[in-house]
């Protein structure tokens, strides 16, 4: 009869090298942060070979370190990401914001799995989920472009079961019945997978979250009287939001954030004037061709000039009444930047009114967090959006208002 194996011997064979783990985890987080930064830069310059090579090297380093410390079972996930990046480097597939989020969320899950191993807790992904995730990531580069979105959606569902997909936007990209069937994920949410984000998602809400909030409610909560003028301005928001799928619920989101920022500053701006500016600031966009509003890629010079004229439309509407002079100034200046590189008048710092500075941050934050064909509440995409605002503090945005924004959107540290 075979003698029972010594439990100490058994444990030693499965033991992670904890002596090496501390240094590895520090290196992993550094590589993770590097990947975050490079991924953001790639969204602005998706064909930059230097950035792609830097990202590939960081991912390859993470994979090697996982093997070194005894976490070989996690490496197939990183290998699938490495293969995807290699396909992007070789121009087999174009890098875009959806692929950016797949990579980011995969790195987040990898970090969670490493932490679970260190803490001797159950893995946040089952072996089956890891296998299906690897398959779907690998398929992204191998299938036809019109089938690719389904595999990306599968990845996002596995990585974040709370993801909401805007199906109507994806109809054109959805594969037909004769396409290869993707590996569909289980969408059960485990207790381990659901966790509180590190940001206040009230200001990063999707349409389902704002469904029970109205413009009138937000105005009432901030003591703003809904008189005849404001009722008219409020009535314009619905047709404006109908011009673009991504604008649904946008007015309420902007009001919530802009008025909260102003309240946090102890009312540097008249809240009624600020609310009217929020309601009217993009009215000029409703006169632009729908094809321009949904265009991907670079604008022609003529298209760029048309976009740069839109603040004037809202300004002209408001300036007809002496009552809304301050609001008209906010609307006209909401695309100015503190370093003078904005439009339409290239104003700098102190020449830009506070209301416009608030609106610039709220507008950008909402655009960056609602531009995708999906919604995800995992902490990294949210924090990344916050980081983008902070990265432009002192150039695009006023540092004072960036600090106020952080106080409003950031969740206090309870540690």
Q: What is the pLDDT of residues 231-269, one digit of tens each?
A: 999 998 887 787 665 677 889 989 999 999 999 999 999
Kindly report, residue by residue over 181-193, the tens digit of the pLDDT. Answer: 333 333 333 333 3
What is the per-residue pLDDT across 129-154, written as a single tens digit (0 to 9) for each?
999 999 999 899 888 888 888 888 88
Instruction: Kindly tell me if the per-residue pLDDT of 166 is higher than 50.
Output: no
The distance from CA 299 to its chain's CA centroid, rounded to whole angstroms, is: 22
* Residue-level pLDDT at 115: 82
Residue 176 scores a pLDDT above 70 = no
Q: Distance of CA 295 to CAs 50, 298, 394, Å?
A: 27, 8, 29
Q: Which is it for the CA torsion 258, 260, 266, 272, positive or negative?
A: positive
Q: What is the predicted pLDDT for the residue at 211?
A: 59
Which conformational region is residue 410 in: left (phi greater than 0), alpha (psi within -120 to 50 degrees), or beta? beta
Q: Does the structure show a pLDDT above 90 at 321?
A: yes
Exposure class string for 175-211: b at 16+ Cβ within 10 A, else e? beeeeeebbebeeeeeeebeeebebebebbbbbebbe
Beta bridge partners of residue 348, listed in sequence order: 339
Tokens 């503090």 appear where?
Answer: 393
Q: How many CA atoms lie within 13 A of 257 on its CB side?
A: 30
For 391, the token pair is: 């990265």
| Domain ranges in the chain with CATH number 1.20.120.160 | 16-173
With a cut of 70, say whether residue 296 has pLDDT above it.
Answer: no
The upper half-sphere exposure of residue 313, i.e. CA atoms within 13 Å in the direction of its Cβ, equals 15
Euclidean distance between CA atoms 377 and 290, whole angstroms:
29
Task: List the alpha helices (DSSP H) in 160-289.
Answer: 167-170, 207-210, 215-221, 228-235, 237-241, 250-264, 271-280
| Residues in Cβ contact with 111 at an 8 Å cutoff, skipping those fewer than 6 apart | 28, 29, 32
Q: Which CATH architecture has domain 201-409?
A: Orthogonal Bundle (1.10)
Cα 183 from Cα 385, distance rounded (Å): 30
With H, G, I as helix, E, B as strand and everything else as coil, classify residue 268: coil
* Closest-CA residue to 283 (of 321, 245, 325, 315): 315
More confident residue, 358 or 196: 358
Averaged over 310-318, what is the pLDDT? 94
Q: Are 107 and 35 in contact (CB under 8 A)?
A: yes
What's the pLDDT score for residue 167? 40
pLDDT band at 381 (very low <50, low <70, confident <90, very high): low
pLDDT of 9 > 50? The answer is: no
Distance CA 37, CA 44 (A): 12
Mean pLDDT of all residues in the chain? Answer: 78
* Share of residues in the chain with pLDDT > 70 (%): 75
Q: Classify 277 as helix, strand or coil.
A: helix
Question: Of 227, 253, 234, which Cα lies nearest the Cα of 368?
Answer: 253
Question: Which two tokens mark 400?
Answer: 């004072």
Please identify which residue in the block is written with the tokens 């008209």.
328
Q: Which of 202-211, 227-236, 251-260, 269-278 has the lowest mean pLDDT?
A: 202-211
Q: What whole-number percentage of the chain has pLDDT above 90?
A: 34
- CATH 1.10.3210.10 in the chain: give the residue spans: 201-409
- Say which CATH superfamily domain 16-173 falls into: HPT domain (1.20.120.160)
Residue 401's closest CA among 344, 309, 336, 323?
Answer: 336
């Amino acid at each position: 009869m075979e003698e029972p194996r010594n439990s100490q011997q058994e444990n030693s064979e499965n033991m992670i090298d904890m002596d090496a783990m501390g240094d590895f985890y520090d290196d992993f987080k550094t590589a993770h942060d590097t990947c975050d930064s490079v991924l953001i830069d790639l969204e602005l310059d998706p064909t930059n070979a230097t950035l792609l090579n830097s990202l590939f090297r960081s991912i390859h380093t993470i994979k090697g370190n996982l093997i070194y410390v005894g976490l070989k079972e996690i490496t197939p996930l990183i290998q699938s990401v490495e293969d995807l990046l290699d396909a992007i480097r070789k121009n087999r597939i174009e890098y875009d914001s959806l692929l950016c989020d797949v990579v980011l969320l995969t790195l987040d899950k990898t970090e969670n799995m490493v932490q679970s191993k260190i803490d001797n807790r159950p893995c946040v992904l089952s072996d089956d989920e890891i296998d299906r995730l690897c398959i779907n990531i690998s398929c992204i580069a191998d299938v036809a472009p019109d089938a690719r979105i389904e595999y990306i959606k599968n990845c996002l569902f596995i990585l974040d079961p709370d993801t909401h997909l805007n199906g109507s936007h994806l109809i054109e990209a959805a594969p037909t019945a004769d396409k290869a069937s993707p590996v569909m994920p289980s969408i059960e949410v485990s207790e381990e997978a659901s966790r509180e984000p590190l940001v206040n998602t009230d200001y990063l809400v999707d349409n389902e979250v704002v469904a029970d909030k109205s413009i009138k409610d937000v105005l009432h909560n901030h003591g703003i009287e809904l008189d005849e003028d404001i009722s008219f301005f409020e009535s314009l928001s619905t047709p404006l939001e109908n011009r673009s799928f991504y604008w649904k619920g946008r007015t309420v989101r902007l009001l919530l954030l802009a008025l909260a920022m102003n309240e946090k500053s102890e009312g540097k701006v008249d809240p009624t004037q600020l609310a009217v500016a929020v309601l009217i600031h993009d009215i000029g966009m409703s006169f632009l061709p729908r094809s321009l509003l949904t265009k991907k890629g670079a604008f022609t010079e003529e298209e760029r000039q048309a976009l740069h004229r839109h603040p004037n439309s809202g300004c002209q509407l408001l300036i007809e009444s002496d009552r809304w002079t301050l609001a008209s100034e906010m609307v006209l200046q909401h695309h100015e930047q503190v370093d003078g590189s904005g439009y339409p008048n290239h104003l700098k710092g102190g020449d830009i009114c506070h209301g416009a500075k608030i609106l610039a941050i709220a507008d950008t934050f909402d655009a960056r967090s609602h531009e995708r064909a999906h919604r995800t509440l995992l902490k990294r995409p949210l924090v990344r959006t916050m980081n983008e605002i902070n990265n432009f503090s002192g150039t695009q945005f006023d540092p004072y208002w960036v600090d106020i924004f952080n106080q409003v959107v950031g969740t206090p540290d309870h540690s």
